[in-house]
Every structure is written in structure tokens, then in C-alpha cells.
Structure 1
Amino acid sequence: YFHRQGRRAHATTDNTLSKLPRLSQQVFQAALAGAPTKHAEEHAQLAALYARLYPQWRFEASQGYNLVFYGYGSKQRVVNRFAQTAFPDHYRLVVNGFMPSVSLAAVLGTLQTRLIGYRGVLGSVTEQVARILAWLSEAQRRLVLVVHTMDGARLRTPAVQVALARLAASPRVTLLATIDHIHAPLLWDARLAAPFRWLWHDCTTLTHYTTETSFEDRLMMQAADRTLQGMAHVIGSLPRPYQQAFFILVRAQAARMAAALTEGGDGDGDGDGDAGARGRGRKRKAASDDAVRYGLTHTEWMRLCTEQLVGNATSLRACLTELKDHDMVTVTSRPAGDLLHIPLDAEGLQEL
């Protein structure tokens, strides 16, 4: 039997995933939205069950405990609805830990600019946490901090967990966290878990992780759309001055690319056929060239930002570090100085 089976020719195919057409962001989202919903009645029953537990959860939070929700399925809708229903008069901040752009600096910066209205130098993490807690104490207000996917890649570092523990230890802060990984409890040893004062709740919803996975790299999407999607989410989480400084570079690089594309004319009108062909050839070459050549030097970018009153040298250096950490800006060393550029073509910059 094995001899005969071994002599058979095994039919193979060269149809691989890489040969499938890549979808644009719009087509992909439309197909995802059109997917049929399964077990809607059972999901509604689970949501109603958890809604009956809201008074119990609120009582536990009022006694100084912080709540962590675990279980299979997306818990975002349940926890958000609980925070809105149980704490309508409190300040609330929702942190989506599954986003690739989330960072401790963005969380603390948002609390200080939106909540306190602070516009000075932020300082170290310890100083920022102390400033937030001092303001809450003086204003006699409470903050509800909702952290989804607290075990996410951007939030699981010890420095982030220590800062969140300091916030959670305050009687003016209530922390509502969700975790998804089975080993998430290993983030906290006995010493770090003490200030969190966790109460654990099973919040199995069995719903799809649609929102949580919407930021992941998808093979079926075009590479340019994946890059633009990631940049758009990062931009939304940046402070306003950082956004302005970034778009100064976007506009300058886009203008240089547009000038290179139109250099020498488009070959139409009075020019002959050879001139038109040369013009179109220059267009194709400029469009395919690396974006590095159209970037700004570090000095030029700093000068433009200063002229438009975006920030000072210290804040711009911090901004550049943040942009580089998120792969928004690439720095290339040149004899004339470091060259800053955005890794997108002209069409991508226009879309951005």
C-alpha cells in the first residue's frame, strides 16, 4: 500500500496568497462591514447579563478598588458603556492599548492638556503623574481611566505599568482595565499589584475583536493603504504642536515632489512628440525615486517650525523623537546635515 501510494504523482498548485489582488482600504472596510453577524441574540443576552452587574461594579469602584475584566471576546463595548452609565459626572479618558500609536507620553500629555489645561514643559513621567494627581486633589474631582488591552505591546513595559499603578493608587482615580492574553496577570508581581488593588471579573462576550485587530497588518490590503492607515492613527494621538510640526514637513516634501513631477513640462501643447515622451519619462522617474531626495534638512525643518511659531528647539527635538519612534519620519545622514523625510510617495502624501 505504501509503495503504491509513494509512486503516485502528487498534484500541486502554484496558486498562492501573494497572487491574489490587493484591496484598497475602502474596499476592505466595505467587505468587512458586509460580513453577516452571527449569534446576535446570544450576544445581546450576554450584554444584558453584564448590564445587571453594573451596580455591583460601581459599588466596588466606590470602595477604592480598580476593576480588571478578562475573558474571550471584545470587552470594549461593555466596559465603555459601564463607564458612561456608572460615572456620568466624572472625567473619563479611554485609552485603546491595542493601537500601535498609543504611548505613555500621549496618555499623560492628553490628561494634562485636555484635563488640566497645562501648556508648560511636561517634564519627567514622575513629575507629570504628580501634577495630574495634585490637580485632581485640589479640584476635588474624580477621573475614570479606561484602559483597553492593558497587556498590549505598547503598554506592557514596566515603566508604563509603574506609572499606571501610581495613578490607580490615588483615591481620586478609578481604573477600569481589560486584558486579552492568557498570561497577562504575569505583568504584575505582588509588589506592583498592590497599588492597583484589582478586583477581577469574568467578562466573556464571545464577540469579534474587530476594533482591536483593525490596526494589524493585513496581507489582503495594499501596502500603501496599510502605511497610511497606521500614520493616520498615530497623527490622531499626537499633541497639537506635534501634528503641526509634522504637517510642515508633509507640505514641504509634497511641494518638492510636485515640482519634480512637473519640471520640464508635461509634454503636451506646442512641444513635439519626443519632448512629450521625455517629459513623461521625467514624471515617471520622479514618481519612482526615493522620497529621501525630497526631504528637508534638520535645520530647514527647525527654521520653518520656528517661523510658524510651532515650538521651540526643545519641544521640536522631543517631537522628532516621537515621530521617529513611530516610523513617521526617517532620518538620513548626509554631509550637509541630517535629512528628514516621510516614507511616502506624492500620492500618499496628498492622501495623508
Structure 2
Amino acid sequence: MELNDGEEEEFGFSRNYFLAKDLAASGKKSTHKLSDINLVDEQELRAAASNLEPKHEKEIVSLIDSYKSLYSRWVFMLRCGFGLLMYGFGSKKALLEDFASTALTEYSVVVINGYLQSINIKQVVITLAEILWNQCKSKRKTPSGNLPRAQQPFNSRSMDDLFAFLDGSELKENDYFVCVVIHNIDGPGLRDSETQQHLGRIASCSHIRMIASIDHVNAPLLWDKKMVHTQFNWHWYHVPTFAPYKVEGMFFPLILAHGSSAQTAKTAAIVLQSLTPNAQSVFKILAEYQLSHPDEEGMPIDTLYSTSRERFLVSSQVTLNSHLTEFKDHELVKTRTHSDGQDCFYIPLASEALEKLLSEINQ
């Protein structure tokens, strides 16, 4: 039986395919493993990345400047009750911060860095409530003509109570609102479902307006139809900047790097340097305790409070809690339950790295 040209070509392709499969099966498999790759030290890799010559800087600056003509429209959309969602390739951090600092000067602004690994969302809601309460007090009287009633401390309230306050009973002026700027609302610290639900409730409050950026291709999957149209009420803007993600990228582990204990200590030291001297001293107390009690689960909060108070580092439990919140937000400190049931705090570093960290912050 003779084959035409098309059938012969198809037969030849099929034969070659099965011959290749036979050869592959009979050959030796590679013994190389992923763990055999010689990874670069993270500090060395980040240093090399920082020395890369930036390209098209003038064009990027010009492009970002061109968006300033939209600022008045963005403010108008906020006043109308919409949230602003910025998308497009490139870091939008500089753009949002310029917009906030030049076009939102009449309003209070709270910034959330969603590119951080963890964020205390309740602390964000407490901060918003305190700003609104201070604004209410500064006006001396509410629109109804009465002085605002005394308030229970916000840090002792439930999330539902906080949202009820943000939604408007004390301050009836619709023209007043607090702007929440979120860099990377799709970032690792905000990506879980519960946090997104809280953000949606924040955005839906009558005295809150939200401006956010997204970068992940699947970011819209974070929200259902109700959240998009009823809570966030997004007005989408395509604002590609082509700017490098320098700040955002600092907080992500590099795939081609391995973290040594020295590098881990160095990173933690950089974070600590951004905190107040008292916060650094509280952290030192915790570190010294952990080094001198290596077999314990951690330092009980009562012991940490009494030691910090004796050294005049904190005046109350509330002050200590604010320091601990900062530590936990930056993943410098974690909690676990002591054998007696009491919460205790520990630093998730090996003794060698912890000693290195103490020497770094004592310099």
C-alpha cells in the first residue's frame, strides 16, 4: 500500500516521536538536585541589583508628571464617594504619595504599605477612629450643637464598634473624610480573605475614602461583586509608570539568594533603626532575656513590662503594647503560650544571629 506525501509525513513524525520516547526511557536520569545549586548570598545579590544602572529615568519622571493633570479629577471622584484603584506596570508608590501630599492637603491621610509581610489591620482601624475623634473634638461641637460625648478607649473596642464609629454617628458632615492610601492592596500582608473583608468594610464607611494600587495579575480575584461595587466602589485608572519596584522589592526574599544568619541580623537591624530609641531598648531587653534563658519558651509579658517600666522605657501597658505591635508587624517578635498558660514573646532568630543583631544595634 502506497502512502501519499501528507500521510508519509505524518507517519514519519509519529515514528520519530516514539523513537525519541524509547531513547529517553533507556537513557540515564540526571543526578542533579535543586539543592546542589550554589546560591549567592542575599546581601551580595541585593548590592549587585542596587548598582544596576537605571534606564529611561527622564521618561519615567515625565510620564509620572503627566498624571498630575488628573489629580483634580481624582479628588472629585473621592468627594463623590468613589474609591480610586490604580493599576498598570511599574511602581505607583511615588505617584500616590505625590497625589496625597499635593492634592489631599485638606484631609487627613493614613498610609498602609501592603508590600510588608504582615500588617495589623485592627491597629489601622483604631488609628482611623482616633483621627476622626480628634477631628470631632477640634470642631468643639457636633452639627447637632452638642459637645461630642466621652469615648471608651478605641484600643479596647471590638472591630464592630470601631466600624460603627467610622460610619458616622458623631460626625455628620459628608464633606469631611479620612483618606486611606494603600500601596499594593494585593500585597502579602493584605492578601488573605479576612483582611480584604475588613478593608472592604473600611472603604464602605461614610467618612473614609480609599486610594489603592494593585500589581498582581490576579488581584481582582480578591473581591466578589458586592465588595467591588458596594464596599470599595472602585473607579479604575490605568496609570503605568514603568518605575522600578525598589522599595516594594526590598521586603521580598530573593529567589537566587540564601539568607545567612549575619544577613538576617543585618535586615532586622535596619528595621530596628527605623523605630524609636525606647522601642529599640525594649527589644534589647527581650533579646538579652532570650539569650540568658535559652531553654524557656520566651519572655512573659508581665516580666517584660516590669523590666521596661523599671528602666523608664514605658509608662503604661498601652505603650508597651504599641511597641510590641510594631515588632510583630515587622516579624521581629512572635508570641506563644507559656507552660503556665501565659503569653510570652520570643525573637525568631538563632542565638548566633541574635548576638549579631545586638552588636549591630549597639554600634
Which residue is 2:111 aligned to? 94
Which residue is 1:213 aligned to? 249
- Counterpart secondary structure, 2:194: helix
Which residue is 1:301 aligned to? 304
Which residue is 2:13 aligned to? none
CA–CA separation in structure 2 for the residues paired with 1:90 and 1:320: 26
Relative to structure 1, the CA distance from residue 120 to residue 229 in structure 2 (aligned partners, 3 Å threshold; closer, same or farther) is farther
**Per-residue CA distance 1:183-238 (angstroms, 9 max, x = gap):** 2112221222212211111111222211111101232554443355358648969x
Amino acid aligned to 1:145: V
Report the alpha carbon displacement of residue 341 of structure 1 after superposing the two structures with TM.
3.2
**Per-residue CA distance 1:89-127 (angstroms, 9 max, x = gap):** 211111111111323123223334566468925221122
TM-score (norm 1): 0.69
TM-score (norm 2): 0.67
Counterpart among 330, 342, 346 of residue 347 in structure 2? 342
Q: Does 1:36 align with 2:53?
A: yes
Amino acid aligned to 2:161: E
**Per-residue CA distance 1:126-161 (angstroms, 9 max, x = gap):** 222333444654797321111111112221333323
Relative to structure 1, the CA distance from residue 195 to residue 304 in structure 2 (aligned partners, 3 Å threshold; closer, same or farther) is same
Q: Does 1:178 align with 2:213?
A: yes
- Counterpart secondary structure, 1:52: helix
CA–CA separation in structure 2 for the residues paired with 1:85 and 1:221: 40
1:1-352, aligned counterparts within 5 Å?
19=38, 22=41, 24=43, 31-113=48-130, 116=133, 120-122=153-155, 123-134=157-168, 137=172, 141-193=176-228, 194-218=230-254, 219=257, 222-226=260-264, 229=267, 233=271, 247-248=281-282, 250-251=284-285, 253-254=287-288, 257=291, 291-292=294-295, 296-297=299-300, 299-305=302-308, 310-312=315-317, 323=328, 326=331, 328-329=333-334, 331=336, 333=338, 340-344=345-349, 345-352=354-361
CA–CA separation in structure 1 for the residues paired with 2:237 and 2:108: 23
> 321-330 or 141-150, which moves further after superposition?
321-330
Report the alpha carbon displacement of residue 69 of structure 1 after superposing the two structures with TM.
0.9
Contact residue 203 and residue 232 of structure 2 kept, 8 A: yes
Amino acid aligned to 1:175: M
Contact residue 91 and residue 142 of structure 1 kept, 8 A: yes
Contact residue 249 and residue 341 of structure 1 kept, 8 A: no
Report the alpha carbon displacement of residue 168 of structure 1 after superposing the two structures with TM.
2.1
CA–CA separation in structure 1 for the residues paired with 2:55 and 2:36: 27
Mark the runs of 5 or more structure 1 residues left unpaired by the alignment.
261-289
Relative to structure 1, the CA distance from residue 334 to residue 12 in structure 2 (aligned partners, 3 Å threshold; closer, same or farther) is closer
Contact residue 142 and residue 173 of structure 1 kept, 8 A: yes
Which residue is 2:16 aligned to? none
**Per-residue CA distance 1:59-90 (angstroms, 9 max, x = gap):** 22222211111111111111221222221221
Amino acid aligned to 1:96: N
CA–CA separation in structure 1 for the residues paired with 2:191 and 2:307: 37
Tell me the number of residue pairs that the alignment of Structure 1 and Structure 2 aligns: 314
Which residue is 2:4 aligned to? none
> 45-54 or 247-256, which moves further after superposition?
247-256
Q: CA RMSD in A?
A: 4.5
- Counterpart secondary structure, 2:180: strand
> 301-310 or 213-222, which moves further after superposition?
301-310
- Counterpart secondary structure, 2:235: strand
CA–CA separation in structure 2 for the residues paired with 1:180 and 1:125: 28
Contact residue 253 and residue 295 of structure 1 kept, 8 A: no
Relative to structure 1, the CA distance from residue 336 to residue 223 in structure 2 (aligned partners, 3 Å threshold; closer, same or farther) is same
**Per-residue CA distance 1:325-349 (angstroms, 9 max, x = gap):** 9461354755898764323422213
Contact residue 250 and residue 342 of structure 1 kept, 8 A: no
Contact residue 231 and residue 328 of structure 1 kept, 8 A: no
- Counterpart secondary structure, 2:250: coil
Contact residue 253 and residue 294 of structure 1 kept, 8 A: no
CA–CA separation in structure 1 for the residues paired with 2:242 and 2:163: 36
Amino acid aligned to 1:22: D
Which residue is 1:283 aligned to? none
Report the alpha carbon displacement of residue 51 of structure 1 after superposing the two structures with TM.
2.1
- Counterpart secondary structure, 1:56: helix
Identity of aligned residues (%): 24
Mark the runs of 5 or more structure 2 residues left unpaired by the alignment.
1-18, 135-150
- Counterpart secondary structure, 1:152: coil
Amino acid aligned to 1:120: P
Relative to structure 1, the CA distance from residue 330 to residue 223 in structure 2 (aligned partners, 3 Å threshold; closer, same or farther) is farther
